[in-house]
Amino acid sequence: MPTLLDHVAPAMERRSAVLLDVGSGTGTVARAAAGRSWLVIALDPEADMASMTGDAMDAPAEAARVVRAALPNLPLTSAGVDAVVANFVVNHVADPRAALAEAARVLRPGGRLAVTIWTRAGAGWADLVGAAFEAADATSPPSAQLPEHLDFERSPEGLADITRAAGLSVVVKDRTTWRWRVSPDDLWAGISSGVAAAGARYLAQRPDVRRAVQEHFVRLAATEAHDGLLNFASEAALVVATKPSAPLTST
């Protein structure tokens, strides 16, 4: 199965091509890109995540740069990068259309965008983590549901529609399912560091509630783990698009 980087590789063939990883998180995608000897700019709004990305890339400063920033406000010039990857980012921003329009702005003509989102079926691990929050009587965050005029269908078709609305030409539209095997410790490390909505909810709790959430997570994970690993069904939508040399027009 092609990775996000395989999908944008055609745009990275020219000399000194630059890949932009928005919402770099723990640095998984940025690290893999640096491993291909690509020039990489990684962005994340959180200081801890930006630091983790920098540590993960382990690349010379001239080949990799980490910046604290977030969609839809990127501190980059227009048409300045050759490829953009947004891995499970667009489903967390306040204005998905503005986010994709900004990604299109910084992409050069002929460049490629690869973007993934959780579908409504989403991440299988959410049920386990949600049960830990419920058992600890954790407070619920404000509704993450976007206003109707900003929301979109969380499917390959819905993601493709708002990508086209950003002026890009869709070349891949797909749904992918897989089993995610992860150790309880690694899953908890992401949550306790504030990753995704579950991480933000965890950090918003009082210290005593955080401890309770962790205790319930450890208990629940122990009942579901096999051979030391959790195994979750996951589903995502993938869209790959190119930026045309002239603006797209409707017919």
pLDDT of residue 251: 45
pLDDT digits (tens, 9 = 90+) for 39-66: 999 998 877 766 777 677 765 655 678 8
Alpha-carbon separation of residue 224 from 132, 182, 218, 220, 221 (angstroms):
13, 12, 10, 7, 5
User: How many other CB atoms are there within 10 angstroms of residue 115's CB atom?
Assistant: 29
| CA gap 176, 156 in Å, rounded | 10
Interatomic CA distance for residues 120 and 207, integer angstroms = 31
Q: Cα(38)–Cα(28) distance, rounded to whole angstroms?
A: 14
Structural contact between residues 106 and 76, judged by C-beta atoms closer than 8 angstroms? yes
DSSP state of 94: S
What per-residue confidence (pLDDT) applies to 59?
59
User: Which residues sit opposite 177 in a β-bridge?
Assistant: 235
Which residues of the chain fall short of a pLDDT of 70?
A: 1, 49-50, 54, 58-63, 143-144, 247-251
Write the DSSP assignment of 141-187 as a string of letters.
PSP-PPPTTT---SSHHHHHHHHHHTT-EEEEEEEEEEEEEE-HHHH
pLDDT in tens, 71-107: 999 999 999 999 999 999 998 899 999 999 999 999 9
| Strand ranges across the sheet with 39-43 | 64-67, 39-43, 18-22, 81-87, 107-123, 230-242, 169-182
DSSP collapsed to 3 states, 18-49: EEEEECCCCCHHHHHHHHCCCEEEEECCCHHH
Give the DSSP H/E element, type plus range, for residue 92. none
Residue 39: the pLDDT is: 92
Confirm if 240 and 172 have CB atoms less than 8 A apart: yes
Are 21 and 85 in contact, with CB atoms under 8 Å apart? yes
pLDDT given at position 192: 92
- Helix, strand, or coil here: 227? coil
What pLDDT is stored for residue 141 in this prediction?
76
Residue 145 token pair: 């549901």
